[in-house]
Amino acid sequence: MKKQPHKRTRDTIAALKPHYLPASADAGGAAPHRYHWLIDLFIQLVKTKPLGAFGGALVLTLVLMALAAPLIATHDPNEMHGMQTLVPPGSDFFFGTDALARDLFSRIVHGARVSLTVGLGAVGLSIFLATVIGVLSGYFGGVLDTILQRCVDAIMSFPWLIIMLTVMSILGPGTGNVILALALAGFAGSSRVIRSAVLAIKHSEYVLAARSIGCRQPAILIRHILPNVAAPILVLATLGLGNAILAEAALSFLGYGVPPPAPSWGRMLSGDGLDHMLRGPWLVIFPGLAISAAVFGFNMLGDALRDLLDPRLTGGARANK
């Protein structure tokens, strides 16, 4: 131990680096980053998680499709092309037409907007509710926990479809209402997961250590507890996105979803698709593929991101190896 520590300048530290550490130890974020960490993350994703990268590509396609829908679509999604009903896929209509002579390809492209809006909206709202309830309930415990958890019990005791249908019948159709219904049906279970993660963390020594340096409760919640439950939240969110897209399809299938004529993938399956499935199988194949691809993409990406963003797991983009 040096009694009088001499202060090294940054330059000498940089010069000393190669002697101290093998190159691999540098990757802990200490090495000069040549790229922004998001780009690093992307490189890691492609290198170590090919399936996740594939999922990411699907998600990216979906997002681009939604953003540039009018450019990609070959026709107006709601335009009826005279007598050309149930035309099989071909050069005019890539995915064929439906019973109302609308171009299926354009409808699916525009449907990405509906699915993403509903999915992101519902997941955002439900994860927000779940995080607030889960963290408060888990961290403060006691009476607050009991009250919140009994409410969650009550909500969870209903099948989610019943809750969604009830909310939709009360509020009436509309994209915003679909989002609300999906969020209300989904947040309870997620809040349980987050609560249990918080319970495990709140008794950890580093929370005690944070208190021992004089941190306030809100600071502990936000700086110490939240980052540690970020991984389950991320997984819940990505799984939730897939589920929300599916649930929206289910709602539309039952006639409660996004109101027509908006091109919803679920409604394409249920309305026309169901009626004319045998004469025009493309009516169910393409919307079904779109839903599957979206759900699969989000799930794969979420799984890979969870692994990469958790510094404790090896293989992390920002972790050692």
Partner 1 sequence: MMPTPMQNQQQAKPILEVHGLIVRFTLRDGALIAVRNVSFDLFPGESLGVVGESGCGKSVTFLSVMRLIPTPPGKIDAVKMRFSGMDLLDASKRQMRRIRGNRISMVFQDPMSSLNPVLTIGRQMREGIQLHLGLSGRSLDDRCIELLDKVGISAPEMRLKSYPHQLSGGIRQRVMIAMALSCNPSILLADEPTTALDVTIQDQILRLIRDLTRDLGTASVLITHNLGAVAGTTDRIMVMYAGRIVEKAPTPLLFKDPRHPYTQGLLRSIPRVDQPAGRRLYSISGAPPDLLRETIQGCAFAPRCPLAEEQCVAQAPSLEPFAPEHLVSCWKAADAHQHG
For partner 1, the closer CB: 16 or 171: 16
Q: Is 200 in the site for partner 1 (CB under 8 A)?
A: no
One-letter amino acid of 272 = D
Q: What own/partner pairs with CB < 8 Å and gap ≥ 24 does 67-73 have? A: 69/109, 69/110, 69/112, 69/113, 72/109, 73/103, 73/105, 73/106, 73/109, 73/110
Three-state secondary-structure class, residue 161: helix
Residue 254 tokens, joined: 């039952």
Q: Is 2 in the site for partner 1 (CB under 8 A)?
A: yes
User: Which position among 46, 210, 234, 277 is part of the footprint of partner 1 (CB under 8 A)?
Assistant: 210
Q: Is 29 in the site for partner 1 (CB under 8 A)?
A: yes
What are the E-state strand segments in the chain?
none
| Nearest distance, CB of residue 138 and partner 1, angstroms | 15
141: alpha, beta or left? (left if phi > 0; alpha if psi -120 to 50):
left
- Asked if 155 contacts 96 with a C-beta cutoff of 8 angstroms, the reply is no
| Nearest distance, CB of residue 308 and partner 1, angstroms | 13
Q: Is 157 in the site for partner 1 (CB under 8 A)?
A: no
For partner 1, what does the binding mask look like between residues 215 and 254, x meaning CB under 8 A?
xx--x---xx--xx-x------------------------
Q: Is 17 in the site for partner 1 (CB under 8 A)?
A: yes
Who contacts 120 (Cβ-Cβ below 8 Å, separation ≥6)? Answer: 241
User: Which position among 169, 206, 222, 279 is part of the footprint of partner 1 (CB under 8 A)?
Assistant: 206
Binding site for partner 1 (CB under 8 A): 1-3, 5, 7-8, 10, 13-14, 16-17, 20-21, 25-26, 28-30, 204-206, 208-216, 219, 223-224, 227-228, 230, 310-312, 318-320
